[in-house]
Copies of this chain bind each other. A is one copy, B any other.
Amino acid sequence: MTTKIIVFEKPKLKNPIFIEGLPGVGNVGRVAAGYLVEELKAKKFAELISSHFMPIAVIPQGSQAELIKAEFFYWKSKSKNQSDLIIMIGDSQSADPEGHYEIVEEILKFLKKFNVKEIFALGGLSIGVPTEKPKVVGAVNDVSLEKKYKKYNIIFDTSQRVGSIVGAAGLFVGLAKYYNIPATCLLGETSGMPFLPDPKSAEAILKILSEILNLKLDISKLQEKIKEMKEFMKRVEAMQSQLLQPQAPPTEKEKLTYIG
């Protein structure tokens, strides 16, 4: 099956900016992008499913089961100094190394159809210790972006702080180059717990992003909204309970143990 994007609506957008928020360290990117979707009341228009996600259906509430997926939302600009936006949030990154490439490339091809003019990939940067004032570190796929954004509170001596960026956020910045799309990765410092959401780090990213995008964003409700992100958290919990089952070195036998 590989990777599929199912489109429910074809919005007319003018050179939109794309914002990516998938789960990761501190769930920083996912939480920040999810908040943006909520606050802007962005509208869902497409879903991405992939055989590179885990083969499970999750039941966030009631009896309705859904595949692991990523969702695309759009938002139309309200004033001249704003841009149309496409925001993607998701339940998971690829479960295997190769899948990251495929998923990110399918998304880039999809974005090309909308003439996306710029990409922001949001994520967390594990610093090992809790921090009260998380900084935001940036990585770009073109030096001109560093110049463009250095006036915002982004740290760009990235090479000193970050050797490499693993997974979707890194690949968006790396692959977008071959699609001629300027891309910036914004990494919020966080202590480093993979699935524990870090609102402070997400807040730091949102502050910078709303400045860049000229959005009047009320970030005060972030803490509260995270509590409301029940559906997503249920999914993550469901996946975690799956993943945290006691696992000896994997044997063929274990691969065949399933519910269903």
Contact = CB atoms under 8 A, between A and B. Distances in A.
11 contacts: A1-B101, A24-B259, A25-B259, A51-B97, A57-B139, A59-B159, A169-B260, A170-B260, A243-B253, A243-B256, A250-B251
A19 interface: no
A67 B167 contact: no
A160 to B, nearest CB: 9
Interface in A19-39: 22, 24-25, 29
A249 B144 CA distance: 43
A125 interface: yes
Closest 8 CB pairs between A and B?
A169-B260, A163-B238, A57-B170, A51-B101, A55-B100, A67-B174, A249-B249, A167-B258
Given A56-B170, A62-B143, A194 B67 contact: no
A255 interface: yes
B174 A105 contact: no
A167 B24 CA distance: 24
Of the listed residues A25, A55, A166, A234, the one surrounded by the most CB atoms of chain B closer than 10 A to its CB is: A55
Given A98-B96, A165-B56, A24 B170 contact: no
A140 B62 CA distance: 9
Contacts of A170: 55-57, 65, 259-260
Contacts of A248: 249
Given A249-B250, A256-B194, A164 B58 contact: yes
A260 B146 contact: no
A81 to B, nearest CB: 25
**Copies of this chain per assembly:** 4
B163 A260 contact: no
Nearest to A24: B260
Contacts of A22: 260
Contacts of A238: 163-164
A79 interface: no
Nearest to A194: B257
